Structure formats: structure tokens, C-alpha cells
Structure 1
Amino acid sequence: MDEVKVVVAHSERATLRVGDTFLKVDADQTRIDIEVEAMALAPVPTPRILWREPPVLAIAAVPGKVLGRLGEPSTASPARWAAAGAAIRKLHDGPLPTWPGRAGREPDEWVTALDGECEWLVTNGVLPADLVTRNRQVAEAALRPWTPAFTHGDLQIAHVFGDGDEITGIIDWSEAGRGDALYDLATFTLGHEEHLADVVAGYGDDVDLDVIRAWWSLRSLLAVRWLVEHGFDPFAPGCEVDVLRSRM
């Protein structure tokens, strides 16, 4: 039997790897339903579904290697980052899902969530008040009307695979749906600002960089508590807290 590797595990979901098969276990079957439907709809390479037996979804590994991981330098070439930008653009220009995704919240919903997290971060002494206040100001630029696009919703660089200068697959579609395209671009470049120009070169020139930076602040402010409570470290070098500090 092949070694069983825990890819990620917390109270909401877990992913195991056995050889070339990934087993995704999710407490919320709605997320699995979305993942299956989104992969069938997406105009970019996605994993092949092997079988489904709730609460487990089995998918095949995709070829290539991830572009990188948050908190670590990426060894991917500028051409591969640009290819990722082109793939993201193809996704955003694809058929519009009938359901809203994580990136599909309206501005007032983000404001409510953001105000609550900022208060928690300061009240509990997790982050300095001036750091929270400055990033809350930066985040304002993201809270504007947007044109719905087919968004991935959790487009971390660890979810994008490539080989040479080609993108070979994008995984983890449970947060996909209609949403703000710039949310995806910000998620993808979070902690890797040095590659933003390459991504935009592949994506196209109609990108508001101030909104990208605003999403970096907004996403990081919202993530810190969840990461801490689920056993992750947002204070690790290059991760969410460093992203917030870079806005000062």
C-alpha cells in the first residue's frame, strides 16, 4: 500500500494523498457539490474526478509542480507566472456560474466581516492598533462595485500547477462561483508581490493595482483569527502578518 500523506487537515475538511489519488473529506457536502460542478464548467485544466462517495471525493493528481507556497520564495520562472495570469484570465472570461462564490460577497458584507475582525484583532492584542487601522484604510479600495466573473475563490499559488512555461492544472474549487476577478488575482499574488507584474502581463492590462493591494490587506485581516484557531501560523515569515506590515 502507498504511504498516506496528510496534505491539509482541520475541523472543517481534510485532504489525504495516497499515491496519485487525493481523497477530500468535507463536513459540508455543499462545498463538494460546488467543487464538482465548478471543475466541469471551468475552461482551464482541472483534476480528473475518480469517484465520489460522500463525504469523500477522490481526484487524480495533476502533472507538474505548484508555483510556490505562501512564506517561501517561488522558483517558478517569470514565464510560468505570466502563463498563470493568462489561465486566470481565461477562467474569468469563462461561462458565468449560476451561484455566488467566496469572492462574490457584496461590499456591505465585506464591511461587516472586516469591522468585526479588526475589532477582535485589536481588543485581544493580536495585532497593534495602528497596523490594523492602516490596513483597514487600505482595504477600502476593494469595497467597490465589480463586474461578476467566474472566480476560483481560493486561488493560492499552492493550488496552481505548472510544467515548463505551461499551467497544467488548478485544484481546490470548493469556493468557486460568481465573484470579483481582482479577488482571485490578489489571492494568487498574496505574499509574492515581486511576481505581480508577470501575472498582470499574462492576464492583461486592465488591472487596478490599488485594488489588488487592497485585497491583500482585506484578505489578511480576515484570515488571521481563522488561521490561529485552526492551527496555522499567520506570523510566519512572508505570511499574512508580514503582508499587513508591508502596507505600513
Structure 2
Amino acid sequence: MAYVEGVQVVVAHDERATLRVGDVFVKIDADQTRIDVEVEAMALAPIPTPEVLWRNPPALALAAVPGRALGRLGEPSPASPAAWAAAGASVRLLHDAPLPPWPGRRLDDLASRLDVECEWLVANGVLPTDLVTRNREVAEAALRPWTPVFTHGDLQITHVFVEGDKVTGVIDWSEAAQGDALFDLAVLTLGHEEHLADVVAGYGTDVDLDVIHGWWSWRSLTASRWLVEHGFDPNTPGCEFDVLRARM
């Protein structure tokens, strides 16, 4: 048996955990539906994804993809503009693919979640009322009907791997579903507004920037409570709270 230098905890909280052992990632998830979606979505996606090594519920083992992440929220991206454009092109390939057979979140549910999270942020004094109110107004631009496409659903820059100017893999597909194309583009560029033009250039079509800004606000408002309750800090420089402040 090959020797490895130990087990790295990539992420761990009360819903799921991901461990790295050498070049193998082991994901353990209390909700097997998420694992089911991840495996099927990777099989359907027309872009590079991790190889499934084995599956033994509640665990899933995936091979590491080559390269390094496009960047991290709150830090300058080490990737070139061409790499960001390549990421945009890969997203376009995904969005042009046939729809997955399962539906995504309904517009009414997204609006209701925004209401609940904004109320929590204000009631608990997490953010000033005027900041929440302004970003709630911005978020309304995203809550409109859209033509569904095959979306990744959680396309954070840490989920996109590149080598030079080429995308080598996209990971973490548990939120994949039919959804709004601009949501994927917004999550990819959240906190990295300086690379939005590169992504759009690679994507190859004009986008409604008001909708992108709306999804930035929606994502940051609705993610904040989960981040706080799971030990993450959305007030770290360059992260969710700074994204909200930038809309003021």
C-alpha cells in the first residue's frame, strides 16, 4: 500500500465533510440525495470533472483533478485573464448541454429565502438595516423568470481548477440542476468583479449586469447565516459582507 503523508480535512461541518488522502478526495454526506446528484451531474456534464473511484454510502471517493483552483474568495486570484476566460467558455459549454432530468429551485422559493434571511440579518444585528435593504433591492433584479439551463449551482472559484490557461476540472456538483445561467456566472465572479469581463468574454455572449449584481447580493445575503452558524466569517476582507458593502 502506498504511503501518504496524512489526512487533510478540506472542509467539515455537521452536514458533510471532505477529506484528502494523497490524490484521493473522500466526501461524506448525511444527505445521500446530494451524492446522487453529484455523481449523475458529473456523468452528464460536457466539461472535465473528477473521476469517481468508488462509492460506498455515505462516502464517495473522487480522484484529484490536475492544476490549482482559479482562486479563493477574499484573496487576489493567481490565475491569468485567459484562464478566467477559459472558465467562462467552460460554463458556456455546460449551459449549452441538454438539461439534467431533475428540476432546480423555484423562483418563489428563492424569493422566500431572501425574505427570511434578510429578516434574520436585521433582527440579530448582524448587518445594518440600510445595507440589507439596499442589497435586497439589488437582489430583486435577479428574481425574474429565466430560461433554464444545465447549471453547476455552486460554481465558486475554489471549484474550478486550471493549469495555465486551460480548465482541468470542475468539482463539487451536488447543487447541479436546471437553473439560471447568470447565477453560475455570478457565483463564479463573486468577490472578483475585476474578472467579470474576462469571464463574459469567454462565455461569448452579452449578459445583463444588473442581474449579475442581483445574484451577488442574493448569494451574499442568503449565505451569511449559514456561514456564521458553521464557523466561517463572511466579514473577512473581500468576502460576502464586502460584496454587500460594494453595492451601497
User: TM-score range, shorter-chain basis?
Assistant: over 0.9
SS of structure 2 residue aligned to 1:5:
strand
**Identity over the aligned pairs, expressed in percent?**
77
1:66 aligns with 2:69: yes
SS of structure 2 residue aligned to 1:133:
helix
Cα distance in 2 for partners of 1:184, 1:5 equals 28
Deviation at 1:231, TM superposition (A): 0.7
* Map 1:104-183 → 2, pairs under 5 A: 104-183=104-183
Gapped regions of structure 1 (runs ≥ 5): none
| 1:99 paired residue among 102, 120, 123 | 102
- Determine the structure 2 residue equivalent to 1:80: 83
Q: Deviations over 1:32-86 (max 9, x none)?
A: 0000000000000000000011110000000001000001100100000000000
- Determine the structure 1 residue equivalent to 2:52: 49
| 1:33 paired residue among 11, 36, 44 | 36
Deviation at 1:205, TM superposition (A): 2.2
1:19 aligns with 2:22: yes
- Determine the structure 1 residue equivalent to 2:191: 191
SS of structure 2 residue aligned to 1:174:
coil
1:228 aligns with 2:231: no
- Determine the structure 2 residue equivalent to 1:241: 241
Cα distance in 2 for partners of 1:34, 1:120 equals 30
Deviation at 1:27, TM superposition (A): 0.2
SS of structure 2 residue aligned to 1:90:
helix
Q: CA RMSD in A?
A: 0.7
SS of structure 1 residue aligned to 2:111:
helix
SS of structure 2 residue aligned to 1:154:
coil
Cα distance in 2 for partners of 1:89, 1:7 equals 28
- Determine the structure 2 residue equivalent to 1:210: 210
Counterpart amino acid of residue 238 in structure 2: G
Cα distance in 2 for partners of 1:105, 1:113 equals 11
Deviation at 1:13, TM superposition (A): 0.3
After TM superposition, the score normalised by the length of structure 2 is 0.98
SS of structure 2 residue aligned to 1:43:
coil
Moved over 2 A (4+): 104-107
Gapped regions of structure 2 (runs ≥ 5): none
Cα distance in 2 for partners of 1:163, 1:190 equals 21
Cα distance in 2 for partners of 1:222, 1:74 equals 24
Counterpart amino acid of residue 91 in structure 1: L
Counterpart amino acid of residue 69 in structure 1: R
Deviation at 1:111, TM superposition (A): 1.4
Counterpart amino acid of residue 226 in structure 1: W
- Determine the structure 2 residue equivalent to 1:9: 12
